[in-house]
Chains A and B, each alone.
Chain A
């Protein structure tokens, strides 16, 4: 956990217990995964790794993740009954304990989720302390998403011009970039770009990007 530089990092967050890393962070991983999916969740296979697998049940990590997938935030008292709510609205879910290997931090979860239009995503999230999170993989591509910013995500076939296009759009709208990362499977293969921004973009600004990429998402901060 980093050093607090705000009053509300030592008195706060307002959250559902018992654990900032196993409960609050898990809700946020669910929440951002739902945003990346871009629609409501119909099916979820949830793979718990490390301490999430070992102590997740007692910490309500399962309920917290489902709550996030349902769109509840980390202070919502309905988190406690998230599994029942999910069953009521017909979400099919399954938890698995897995070992993703030593490369992954102890509090890691991989979500395989699907929406009504059958788009599906594989998203790997981690808890990084104090209730903060990171998304580290989308569909096997490594990314870095904190959820603290407006985030632009593009998944596309690797070819020149896409990153330049995105940064040009962002500059045009006078939006400030705080972090950016790109990665790809191999040259010319599938690639991901993530841009974390201080402000949002108008959705229509992305149409050019949408023509070039397979998936484009614009996600508001989840905190």
Chain B
């Protein structure tokens, strides 16, 4: 059993009447020649670290070495939102908070990268609180997210230096969108649409870290990615379909990534990094 595309992965899940994460786990166990329980146990450890970083990000006073980031997660968590639902508002705070923990040399789980590490944990914590799903389902959902991430990595990229920020926070959001859809009872087909819709909305996002540091706009983009993930899951769950098949969207992301100029692929030479203020920060930090 193996999969090279989202389509294949969804088919395997539908045919075997299993959750996507169960298929991803089974394939991993087979490839690594380990028992599914061992692999699952490793994921439980990752989830524990994620939970610690979620909590830390919205309760502790966090400040990065450069001073460019810190404090937003905590601030947002304590506030009554004007437009967002209280649950979504909290999830945004978590996404910001984990990204800030990362920037301040705290412990996180890269997902798929350190810069985009806030999105998936925040989304899963949202599902846990909003839908009261149990831990066991969360762990399986992490495997669902991982399957989506692996396919994006193989057929496109999960590195900002290669594919821009669409490859980091974009893929993180797609992973989260798929997991959120499945956790809310969506079919494998709906999961595919959630991934497609989410990536479509994040296509072309450039990587332009101010002063070359994983802070501005990275922390903010974790909040944006979380919102895109929730939106895509909600759209897919309503029955709205992506007009472009999911694997073609991933192909498109690859093509867009390849055509991004080097200045917008983590070199900190373009975009926000190259604004007058961005350049001032660079001088101050270096």
Contacting residues, chain A, for B211 (C-beta < 8 A): 55, 58
Interface residues on B, range: 35 or more
Total number of A-B contacts with CB less than 8 angstroms?
A: 143
* Minimum Cβ distance to chain B for residue A30 (Å): 15
B33 at the interface (CB under 8 A from A): no
B153 touches A17 (CB 8 A): no
Question: Residue on B with the closest CB to A24?
Answer: B114
The answer to whether residues A17 and B112 also contact, given A1-B157, A58-B211 and a CB cut-off of 8 A, is no
Is A7 among interface residues, defined by CB-CB distance under 8 A? yes
For window 140-164 of chain B, which residues contact chain A by CB distance below 8 Å? 142-143, 145-147, 149-150, 153-154, 157-159, 161-162
Q: Which residue of B lies closest to A64 (CB)?
A: B105
Specify which chain A residues have a CB less than 8 angstroms from the CB of B142 in the assembled complex.
Answer: 11
A residues 30-86 with Cβ under 8 Å of B?
51, 54-55, 57-60, 63, 75, 77, 79-80
Per-residue B-contact encoding for A12-24, CB less than 8 Å = 1, 0 else:
1111111110011
- CB 8 Å contact bits of B97-119 with A (1 = contact, 0 = none): 00001111111111111110100
**Closest Cβ of chain A: how far from B8's Cβ, in Å?**
15
B28 (CB) vs chain A CBs: closest residue: A7
Report yes or no: A20 in contact with B110, Cβ–Cβ below 8 A.
yes
Please, how many angstroms separate the alpha-carbon atoms of A78 and B250 in the complex? 39
Asked if A17 meets B150 with Cβ closer than 8 Å, knowing A1-B157, A7-B43, A10-B175, the reply is: no
**B72 smallest CB distance to A (angstroms):** 15
Are B42 and A8 touching (Cβ within 8 A)? yes
Provide the residues of chain A in CB contact with B117, threshold 8 Å: 17
**B215: interface (CB < 8 Å):** yes
Asked if B65 and A11 make an inter-chain contact with CB atoms under 8 angstroms apart, the answer reads no
A131 within 8 A of B: yes
Instruction: Choose among B68, B110, B115, B120 the residue that contacts A13 (Cβ–Cβ < 8 A).
Output: B110
- CB-CB < 8 A to B212: which residues of A? 51, 54-55, 58
- How far, in whole Å, are A9 and B109 apart by their CA atoms in the complex? 10
Q: How close is B254's CB to chain A, nearest CB, in angstroms?
A: 12
Q: Are A18 and B157 in contact (CB under 8 A)?
A: no
- Once bound together, how far apart are the Cα atoms of A57 and B65, in whole Å? 8
Chain B residues, Cβ within 8 Å of A77:
106-107
- Judge whether B256 is part of the interface by a CB distance below 8 angstroms: no
The answer to whether A17 touches B214 (Cβ under 8 A) is yes
B107–A57 touching, CB < 8 Å? no
19 inter-chain pairs at a CB distance below 8 angstroms, sorted by A residue, are: A1-B158, A4-B112, A10-B111, A10-B175, A11-B43, A11-B120, A12-B46, A12-B110, A17-B104, A17-B105, A18-B213, A20-B113, A54-B286, A58-B66, A58-B68, A60-B65, A77-B107, A80-B106, A129-B161
Among all A-B residue pairs, the 3 with the closest Cβ atoms: A17-B102, A10-B149, A55-B212
Q: A10-B111, A55-B213 are in contact. List 8 more A-B contacts (CB 8 A).
A: A4-B150, A7-B146, A10-B150, A11-B109, A11-B112, A20-B114, A55-B286, A58-B212
Please list the residues of chain A having a beta carbon within 8 angstroms of any beta carbon in chain B. Answer: 1, 3-20, 23-24, 51, 54-55, 57-60, 63, 75, 77, 79-80, 129-131
